[in-house]
Amino acid sequence: MLVVLVLVATPVFINQATVGPNWKKAYQAKATENAVLSQQCRLAELKVQQLGQERDEAVKRAEEISLTRRQDVEKLQNDLEARRVEVAGLQGELQKANNELVKLRGDLDLVNKRTEQLASQLDESRKKIDALNEENRRLTEDLHKSQADYVNVEKLARVRHEQLVKYEERIKELERKIEDMGKSPGTAEGEGGAASSEQILGTITAVKQDQASVNIGSATGVRSGMKLIIYRGTQFVGYLRVEMVDTNSAAGIVVDKQLDPMQGDKVANVLLKQ
């Protein structure tokens, strides 16, 4: 029993004798290591606390940024909605402008057509104006000619008037002679009955150019070659030189006319004072 105990205890004592110093050294090493680890733990805790603070600050900043972002997003959404409303309004105005543009195009087509019509009317008016100018030129020329003719006619009228005055004076002189002859029958007989104191009166029934017919003939004393006086009221028209004679009509040529003879003018061989 003792031997067994000795055998069992021997290794223990040997171990105690040999291992003891190593254990202390290991213990001290572990203690030092634990102190280092403790220090590192404290540093880690401080680092964790610092990281926590930084995390809190980062979270706070992130929340602030998120809030700012949400506000920005809301603002952008509001701006977007306003832009959409504005775009919708612009689209409405664009549609209205397109409708007005279509209407203006229609009006422009009408204006172009109206312009073409006016251009055509202007061309026609120009042609008419040219024609009127040409007609005006011709009328002006005709007017100048007419004025010249009028001057000539005026001169001729003066000459005719002077001739008419002379003829009237001559007629008055002839009337005086005829009257004197009527008062002195011997004188008429002395001329061989060339002039008749008996008045022959008639009326022009037809006129063609310088030829005229009367309603008196040989039955009233009209004979070929006789010159009948043509008068209209108190106006002297001219003479009718008798060329053809029938019983109740005669015809001849108008000579020395001062006026154009007309149907209804009177003729006589002599003019007697009333």
- Mean pLDDT (whole number) for 235-260: 94
Domains of the chain with CATH codes: 198-274 (2.40.10.340)
Q: What is the pLDDT of residue 31?
A: 86
The answer on pLDDT for 242 being more than 90 is yes
| Tens of pLDDT, residues 154-209 | 665 566 567 667 767 767 766 665 565 444 433 333 333 334 457 899 999 999 98
Give the mean pLDDT of the chain.
Answer: 80
Residue written as token pair 């202390």: 24
Give the rounded percent of residues in the chain with a pLDDT score beyond 90: 28
Q: What is the pLDDT of residue 63?
A: 86
DSSP line for 209-233 = TTEEEES--GGGT--TT-EEEEEET
Q: What is the pLDDT of residue 195?
A: 43
Helices vs. strands in the chain: H and E counts, helices first: 2, 6
**Cα 90 to chain centroid, rounded:** 38
Give the rounded percent of residues in the chain with a pLDDT score beyond 70: 74
106, 111, 115, 121 alpha-carbon torsion, rounded to 10°: 100
Q: What is the pLDDT of residue 272?
A: 67
Pairwise pLDDT comparison (68 vs 151), residue with the higher score: 68
- 264 by DSSP, 3-state: which? coil
The answer on pLDDT for 211 being more than 60 is yes
- Mean pLDDT (whole number) for 238-259: 94
| Tens of pLDDT, residues 64-92 | 888 888 888 888 889 889 989 988 989 99
User: In which band, very low, low, confident or very high, does the pLDDT at 8 lie, cut at 50, 70 and 90?
Assistant: low
Q: How far apart are CA 191 and CA 200, in angstroms?
A: 19
DSSP line for 173-202 = HHHHHHHHHHH-HHHHHHTTT-S-SS--EE
| Tens of pLDDT, residues 33-50 | 888 888 888 888 888 888
Pairwise pLDDT comparison (85 vs 13), residue with the higher score: 85
Residue written as token pair 């006016």: 118
The answer on pLDDT for 255 being more than 80 is yes
Pairwise pLDDT comparison (25 vs 202), residue with the higher score: 202
Q: What is the SS3 assignment for 52-108?
A: HHHHHHHHHHHHHHHHHHHHHHHHHHHHHHHHHHHHHHHHHHHHHHHHHHHHHHHHH
Residue 88, φ and ψ in degrees, nearest 5: -60, -45
User: In which band, very low, low, confident or very high, does the pLDDT at 135 lie, cut at 50, 70 and 90?
Assistant: confident
Pairwise pLDDT comparison (221 vs 17), residue with the higher score: 221
